[in-house]
Amino acid sequence: MDDQNLPATRGDLATAVEQLRSGTEQLGSELRTEMGQLGSEIRTEMEQLRSEMNHQYRDLVERIHDGQTELLKAFYSYAQGNNKRVAELEGNEGAFRSRLSTIEDRLLEVERRLNFPPAA
């Protein structure tokens, strides 16, 4: 070690220790201040990030809702067209049954005449 940097007396040593303590306290104070500022900046950044994430979440929910609405509209349109086809088929079936009933009545009348000839 270099003897030139060593304190010469106990008084110099006490002064050096006191300066070291003072410097350490000052450094600690500065570190606490810096850490407080960094913590504040981090909290601000976190709040900003949280706000952006909430905005993105709400945007996503809205898009999902819009997609559901579009799907429901498409299903309703399909169902309306399908209901019209079913109603038309039911109407055609009713007309067909009516005609079939008329033919059956006529056939029954013919069978009745063939089996029971009119009395002369």
pLDDT value of residue 15: 87
Residue 46 CA to residue 40 CA, distance in Å, equals 10
**Within-domain flag for 3:** no
Boundaries of domain holding 104: 10-115
- Where are the alpha helices (H) located in the chain, listed in sequence order? 10-115
Structural contact between residues 16 and 7, judged by C-beta atoms closer than 8 angstroms: yes
**The pLDDT of residue 18:** 86
The pair of structure tokens assigned to 10 is 């106990």
Quick: pLDDT tens for 39-67. 999 999 999 999 999 999 999 999 999 99
Q: So what's the pLDDT on residue 1?
A: 47
Q: Identify whether 74 is part of a domain.
A: yes
Q: What whole-number distance in Å separates Cα of residue 81 and Cα of residue 90?
A: 14
pTM of the model: 0.46
CA distance 115 to 120: 15
Is 99 a domain residue? yes
Tally the domains of the chain.
Answer: 1
Residue segments in the chain with a per-residue pLDDT below the cut of 70: 1-8, 117-120
* Dist CA 68 CA 62 (whole Å): 10
Task: Answer yes or no: is 5 within a domain.
Answer: no
In a domain, 4, yes or no: no
Domain-located, residue 40: yes
- Note whether residue 120 is domain-resident: no
Q: How far apart are CA 39 and CA 36, in angstroms?
A: 5
Query: Rounded to whole angstroms, how far apart are CA atoms 74 and 23?
Result: 75
Burial class of residue 77 in the structure, from the number of CB atoms within 10 Å of its CB (0-12 exposed, 13-18 middle, 19+ buried):
exposed
